[in-house]
Amino acid sequence: MCNIRITEMQDEKDIEFLHNKQSFNYRFDKATIDLLKKHFRLKDSLYLLAEKGEEFVAFCSVDREWWEDDFFFIREILVDPNFQKLGIGKKLMSRCIEYAKNKKAKGVVTETDSENSPMQNLCSKFGFKEWDNPKWKEGITYKLLF
Ligand SMILES: CC(C)(COP(=O)(O)OP(=O)(O)OC[C@H]1O[C@@H](n2cnc3c(N)ncnc32)[C@H](O)[C@@H]1OP(=O)(O)O)[C@@H](O)C(=O)NCCC(=O)NCCS
């Protein structure tokens, strides 16, 4: 992970940099960017950007906009294909989980497509369990209880 810098986004305008960044068939389209902007404004949101020089490496965000009290939601995680399988996803997710713990959350949730095995494996590494989400049946909801 030589020369890769991880910073916390401080300004909503920085989110535009993510526009059209993609990996596999997942892309930060305008709708995703707008949602990220909306959640950035909330109290206790954490937006982590990884870069190598000026080059985009990865992004991960966590916020507390989840319908169960005291849970944080890992809303987005994306590692550029040139930087995958280097442990960057793990590192960003770990920072988000620690952050939620420090905010006295009960746990963290995230959602993914049922075909997305890299994300499913990543979640398993952290001990997330599949959770029968009454509000979302289109994919898998993962929950990690602290
Ligand atoms: C999921 C994703 C963020 C993983 O990022 P990464 O930096 O490559 O992951 P890491 O190198 O930290 O790997 C962590 C674990 O994830 C799993 N994993 C990562 N890439 C994988 C792949 N291509 N296939 C299967 N498992 C994979 C492995 O279990 C790995 O642990 P290991 O190295 O001990 O085997 C990345 O594949 C990605 O950006 N995917 C596209 C965007 C996306 O789908 N985001 C989730 C939307 S819900």
Consecutive 10-residue runs of the chain (146 residues): their mean pLDDT? 92 97 94 97 97 97 97 98 97 98 98 96 98 97 98
Token pair recorded at residue 135: 């509000």
State how many domains the chain has. Answer: 1
Does 121 sit in the ligand 1 pocket, CB within 6 Å? yes
Contacts of 69 (CB under 8 A, 6+ apart): 106
Measuring from atom 21 of ligand 1, which residue has the nearest CA? 118
Does 123 sit in the ligand 1 pocket, CB within 6 Å? no
CA of 122 from ligand 1 middle (Å) equals 6
One-letter amino acid at 64 equals R
* Sign of the dihedral defined by the CA atoms of residues 89, 64, 109, 40, in that order: negative
pLDDT at 58: 98
CB 7 within 8 A of CB 17: no
Token pair recorded at residue 96: 């988000």
pTM attached to this predicted model: 0.97
pLDDT at 25: 86
The candidate with the shortest Cα–Cα distance to 102, out of 46, 49, 61, is: 46
CATH of the domain at 117: 3.40.630.30
Residue 25 belongs to what domain range?
5-145
